Amino acid sequence: GAGVSQTPSNKVTEKGKYVELRCDPISGHTALYWYRQSLGQGPEFLIYFQGTGAADDSGLPNDRFFAVRPEGSVSTLKIQRTERGDSAVYLCASSLVGSRVNNEQFFGPGTRLTVL
């Protein structure tokens, strides 16, 4: 595929349930990022992978949130014991390399998570 893809596009779950959100980055991009966008706000950084390892997870709000990228390509964001406040659009982005210089990040369409 030409761009970053995310599945599912929409996810509705009940409070307390576990969810997994998937991101397929652009082929060959070593850096992958997760952001959360709440209604009426800009995206907020959650976690950044360089290859298989989480280079920076300082944006994860608490230990209910976890993300993996076992083979350095596809990433899964996992949320345990979901709360209504977790409802947001979760965006994934990838870039060719993880550096501050010339770091153009390409964004997927997002997964809209609704926790009832």
Partner 1 sequence: AQSVTQLGSHVSVSEGALVLLRCNYSSSVPPYLFWYVQYPNQGLQLLLKYTSAATLVKGINGFEAEFKKSETSFHLTKPSAHMSDAAEYFCAVIGNNNDMRFGAGTRLTVKP
Report the interface residues with partner 1, using CB under 8 A.
3-4, 31, 33, 35, 40-45, 48, 55-56, 58-59, 91, 93, 98-110
For residue 84, report the phi and psi dihedrals to the nearest 5 degrees.
-60, -30
CB of 63 or CB of 104, closer to partner 1? 104
Q: Work out how close the CB of 16 gets to partner 1 at its nearest, in angstroms, rounded to a whole number.
A: 28
Contact in structure between 45 and 35 (CB atoms under 8 Å): yes
Q: Work out how close the CB of 96 gets to partner 1 at its nearest, in angstroms, rounded to a whole number.
A: 12
CB of 28 or CB of 40, closer to partner 1? 40
CB of 15 or CB of 99, closer to partner 1? 99
Residue 89 to residue 107: CA distance in whole angstroms: 12
What is the DSSP annotation of 43-58?
A: -EEEEEEETTEEEE-T
> Which residues on neighbouring strands pair with residue 95, listed in sequence order?
31
